[in-house]
Structure 1
């Protein structure tokens, strides 16, 4: 559901009668997670072992969500290029940022 900017009307009676379960989570705690994420980025890790390829949006279900749901993922991260026509090897090289360009 995410964090809504405005109050959002919900048919709670219908949810109750249909016995919906709503479970919330906050995936990251900024004060705890950001320092560790920055530390990991500074290391010379083998990122190819974590995310060796980039897949297309059309492949997200079969090659991403289904393996995740079934507990048979092969890698820690899934890189998706919504405009890609086919999978390609991931490029984890660190190139100097050009002056004036965004990250």
Structure 2
């Protein structure tokens, strides 16, 4: 999947980027290089390969070090709400922005 200069211009417009012509050409090369790598990775047969949850598990046996699920911080609600311009029942009140 090769991008064209017009594709890069459209992407830049959507991202609100103002690219010069030389930047647009460099971006085109970089994006097409990225897509080339993705296509090479798609071509690899991964049938029967188990997904890794960490790259280290490919070279050594890794056990997850999970901590106990306990509360370690005190309730800071009042301190966090102290600077709120408007609040009600422990919640921030904000102006309606969607009709």
Q: TM-score, normalised by structure 1?
A: 0.21
Considering Cα pairs closer than 8 Å and 6+ residues apart, tell me whether 1 or 2 has the greater RCO: 1
* Higher share of residues assigned helix: 2
Q: TM-score, normalised by structure 2?
A: 0.22
* Higher share of residues assigned strand: 1
